[in-house]
Amino acid sequence: MARSICWFRRDLRLDDNPAWSAASRSAEVVPLYVLEPQLLESAGPFRRRRLLGDLGALDDELREIGGRLHVVVGPAQEALPRTAAQLGVTSIHANADVTAFATRRDDACAASCPIEWHWGTLLHPPGSVRTARGTLSLVFTPFYRRWLDVDLAPLAEPGSARVVVATGSEPLPTPDTDAVEPPGPSGARDRLEAFLEVVDAYPDLRDRPADDGTSKLSADLRFGTIGPRALFDIVGTATAGRAAFVRQLAWRDWYAHLLWERPDLVHRALRPAYDRIDWRDDPAGLQAWKDGRTGYPIVDAGMRQLRATGWMHNRVRMITASFLVKDLLIDWRHGERWFRHLLVDGDVPQNVGNWQWAAGTGPDAAPYFRVFNPTTQAATHDPRGDYIRRWVPELAGLAAPLVHDPSSADPLELAAVGVVLGDTYPVPIVEHGFARERALAAYKAALDGQ
């Protein structure tokens, strides 16, 4: 009797899952998760908690159809062949991944196991969106136009295999703390439903960190508690807001395709000239940035939101990233690592792609002298200062516009609301005008080949 494994990785759902669809067309299927200690270690607190919650939710879904999630521990290269032999399976189905780490591991697994690969984490698999010349576009807009034209694979439907409950499953670790957001596909559906209430305001609201204008689905896409294919079907492109959101899914595909073709982008700038930038070695500045104590309220608000919740609003991710790279002239790789550690949706292709974008070192049509002014950005996107006051409570007594730039205020005026710069809140660690010129000079020098 044919028995297969569905090896769940970052696709923790049963709907819209090509690997599960294929595996569950066997007579019998074993749903498997390989808990890799190295990955769990590096996941950071928020992703770890979310992963364990999502695995619990997947287990619950499987119970409803008479199964359980079979959990084994160890590097996949060892655990997968061992489990396959123990359970007597004839085929293994899994959704492929794009990073160098994943492909190396997966190649090693495939050398000793009969694995069939599928694509369930992207709208379109790497290699399927090509320019007229057959290359992957290094400019987003042409990629996007092609991406819209590629036919979507049909939605994967689950099969009717008997779900085998095998002995020898390890218990799932208990999360240190309870999940803040409801995990799993049911949580994802609730988040999507809430987003669809406001999706038509998305083009305007998505840049307002004080508002709930974004989808909040990033971690669901990261762990696959919602499938991008199903998401696309549900959201569609019928209105400007919906189309704007779907466009973001194209960005997601694009960054994944780029990393698939260029795995070295994790370490290297897309354009080699930018690896000649003379980054500053500034541990104190890096620490101030991580701690949310730069003296720039919007930057500090974002960094504190990240550390407290594992999530940061997208607009503020751009502002904080720009500040680290351009204002502090600190290597984007330091920031990428910190974000990856803390973000609940931390995902190598997306994180690397967006950091290279912010640093101006990546695939990017924007000129390098486009340097965000953190004060202007705050005034534009958090005009009332609500977001700042939420995450920087020591400035709660300040109204706009002072809350955006307390260092410009009269010290007496600040003292009246309990703010003493250099004491209750930091003096700006760098002056933006000076920092801007310094960054432009450093980038220019790198491009000029010095």
Collect all residues with Cβ–Cβ distance below 8 Å to 104 and sequence separation of at least 6: none
C-alpha closest to that of 7 among 37, 39, 38, 29: 29
Residue 277 interacts with DNA (CB under 7 A)? Answer: no
Residue 376 interacts with DNA (CB under 7 A)? Answer: yes
Residue 154 interacts with DNA (CB under 7 A)? Answer: no
Tokens at residue 164, please? 């085998």
56/125 with CB nearer DNA: 125
92/379 with CB nearer DNA: 379
105/206 with CB nearer DNA: 206
> Is the dihedral angle over the CA atoms 333, 337, 339, 344 positive or is it negative?
positive
Please state, as a whole number, how many other Cβ atoms lie within 10 Å of the Cβ of residue 355: 23
Which of 70, 118, 313, 315 is the binder for DNA (CB under 7 A)?
315
Which of 82, 104, 145, 337 is the binder for DNA (CB under 7 A)?
145
Distance CA 361, CA 408 (A): 32
Strand, coil or helix: 252: helix
Binding-site residue total for DNA (CB under 7 A)?
38
C-alpha separations of 195 from 212, 220, 341, 347, 428 in Å? 9, 13, 27, 22, 36
Work out the end-to-end distance of the chain between its first and last CA atoms, rounded to an integer number of angstroms.
67
Distance CA 262, CA 248 (A): 21
Only one of the segments 13-21, 121-129, 212-220, 310-318 lies at the binding site for DNA (rule: CB under 7 A); that segment is: 310-318
Phi then psi dihedrals of residue 92, to 5 deg: -125, 135
Strand, coil or helix: 29: strand
Residue 279 interacts with DNA (CB under 7 A)? Answer: no
72/136 with CB nearer DNA: 136
Residue 101 interacts with DNA (CB under 7 A)? Answer: no
CB of 251 to DNA, least distance (A): 4
C-alpha separations of 273 from 323, 361, 435, 444, 446 in Å? 21, 9, 21, 10, 6
Which of 271, 276, 307, 438 is the binder for DNA (CB under 7 A)?
271
Residue 146 interacts with DNA (CB under 7 A)? Answer: yes
Residue 366 interacts with DNA (CB under 7 A)? Answer: yes
Helix or strand holding residue 332 (H, E): helix 332-342
Which of 46, 357, 387, 425 is the binder for DNA (CB under 7 A)?
357
What are 115's strand-pairing partners?
92
Only one of the segments 113-121, 129-137, 294-302, 337-345 lies at the binding site for DNA (rule: CB under 7 A); that segment is: 129-137
251/279 with CB nearer DNA: 251
Tokens at residue 130, please? 């090509």
CB of 358 to DNA, least distance (A): 7
Which of 88, 114, 142, 272 is the binder for DNA (CB under 7 A)?
142
Tokens at residue 213, please? 């204008």
Collect all residues with Cβ–Cβ distance below 8 Å to 100 and sequence separation of at least 6: 263, 264, 266
Only one of the segments 159-167, 259-267, 400-408, 428-436 lies at the binding site for DNA (rule: CB under 7 A); that segment is: 428-436
Place of tokens 């080699």: 272
Which of 135, 174, 177, 450 is the binder for DNA (CB under 7 A)?
135
Which of 63, 267, 280, 370 is the binder for DNA (CB under 7 A)?
370
Which of 28, 181, 207, 347 is the binder for DNA (CB under 7 A)?
207
372/387 with CB nearer DNA: 372
Q: Write out the residues near DNA by the rule CB under 7 A.
A: 131-133, 135-142, 145-146, 207, 248, 251, 271, 314-315, 318, 354, 357, 364-373, 376-377, 380, 432-433, 436
